[in-house]
Amino acid sequence: MSGNKLRPIRIALLGCGTVGGGVVKLILRNRDKYERMLGAPVQLAAVADLRVKLVAALGVPAKLITRDAAAVVTRPDIDIVVELFGGHEPARALIMKALAAGKDVVTANKALLAEHGGEIFREAGRRGLAVGFEASVGGGIPIVRTLREALAGDRQRAAYGIVNGTCNSILTTMTEEGVEFGAALADAQCKGLAEKNPALDVEGHDSAHKLCLLVALAFGVMVKPAQIYTEGITRITQADIAYARELGYAIKLLAIGKDDDGAIEARVHPTMIPQRHLLAGVGGAYNAIYIHGDALGATMYSGLGAGEMPTATAVMADILEIARHRLAEGSARAHAFGFPIHLMKGASVKPMDDVVCEYYLRFMARDKPGVLGAIASVLGSHGLSIASVIQKGRGTAQTVPVIMRTHDAPERGLKRALAEIRRKKIVQSAPAFIRIEEKL
């Protein structure tokens, strides 16, 4: 490359759905800005999608549209392959093929990276290529760069993430409008915030995929989705939200990663957090990630975690970063997680039975003397002490709700205590419990 003008950076886009459409719009809208930033044009060289008319409607010339993604990723004129198909296959095979052909890659595919990231990042590292994945965690929130670069000088101890906008929107509606889960889910679906089949979101799996990447970025170890305890929000009731408020808490679906001197906690579940905490105020479809470092202390990063333009903005940030490296003729690429991939080991994940926290417990108990004492006795025999009690509705109903908040205890003891309470038929139905993170 010589002279004042550098050669174009040529992009192949695989998948032109919601996010891919946003990327096309940004490339066309900000063409002049990107050229000023790089000193070279960013050109859309190919778009692979079966929906040819949809792509053409975005202003993409017909000659750039193809149905053959496999042929596109090996074309010698392509510099960066942007994979936005989603899912495991053919996305994995196409990314590996692109890397083998010497192409840098950008993806928003958190499910693929959570399961196959080790293979993909190792191949990229072996070939001196980049895999950008800013859009895979937190949508438009620049958390990948923040952890990999801005916070690299510190040692991270914990990461708490509200990383699924669908669940956060549903819980916000339940909290603010006093409706049950089913009604809040239907409202989210009407607004386009929840899929027709919302299981991936509401059962916590999407958050678990993102937590895999957060753990790698924060602690430098690899963890698979199967290692993450995952529980969704489908069993949260309006009663739980009301009692949480009375106790001074809000309920959020949290992705939690902690480094206890090498023993990693990695879990996704509904969590009660103090109403005064910054995370408690993150409502609607917004995401937030709260990081604890040894030196810096606590910092929080919040913004829109999904949607066409927020996610496309994160994709473009990766494209521009990689383009700078290519134009500088540098073979060095930033380590994907801030750690050399060949030195990253699998995480030793702490079993949930060993996790220690406080608990909210809800029992439907017979309204007669001695029941409260019997519950407390069983809890105490398994190492759980009671911090506070709420008892409602005495005098008319045969059963009444009994709400307890415990002090810190291992989950093993809690599960054994609840099983014994059910076995002895002290309460009328299965007890409900929600973990509390008091000291985030």
Residue 25 known to be catalytic: no
In the three-class reduction of DSSP (H, G, I as helix; E, B as strand; rest coil), residue 155 is classed as: coil
* Structural contact between residues 141 and 207, judged by C-beta atoms closer than 8 angstroms: no
For 197, list phi and psi in degrees, rounded to 5. -105, 100
Name the DSSP letter for residue 351.
P
Measured CA distances, 64 to 10, 43, 56, 67, 69 (Å): 12, 11, 9, 10, 12
Token pair recorded at residue 12: 């192949």
AA letter at 40: A
Name the DSSP letter for residue 252.
E
The contacts of residue 376 (CB under 8 Å, 6+ apart) are: 386
The contacts of residue 14 (CB under 8 Å, 6+ apart) are: 20, 48, 49, 69, 72, 73, 81, 82, 83, 84, 85, 91, 94
Measured CA distances, 351 to 217, 288, 363 (Å): 21, 26, 26
Environment class of residue 89 by beta-carbon count within 10 Å: exposed (0-12), middle (13-18) or buried (19+)?
Answer: exposed
* Structural contact between residues 16 and 47, judged by C-beta atoms closer than 8 angstroms: yes
Distance of alpha carbon 378 from alpha carbon 367, whole angstroms = 18
For 44, list phi and psi in degrees, rounded to 5. -80, 110
- Which of 5, 110, 191, 210 does the annotation list as catalytic? 210
Q: Please list the active-site residues.
A: 210
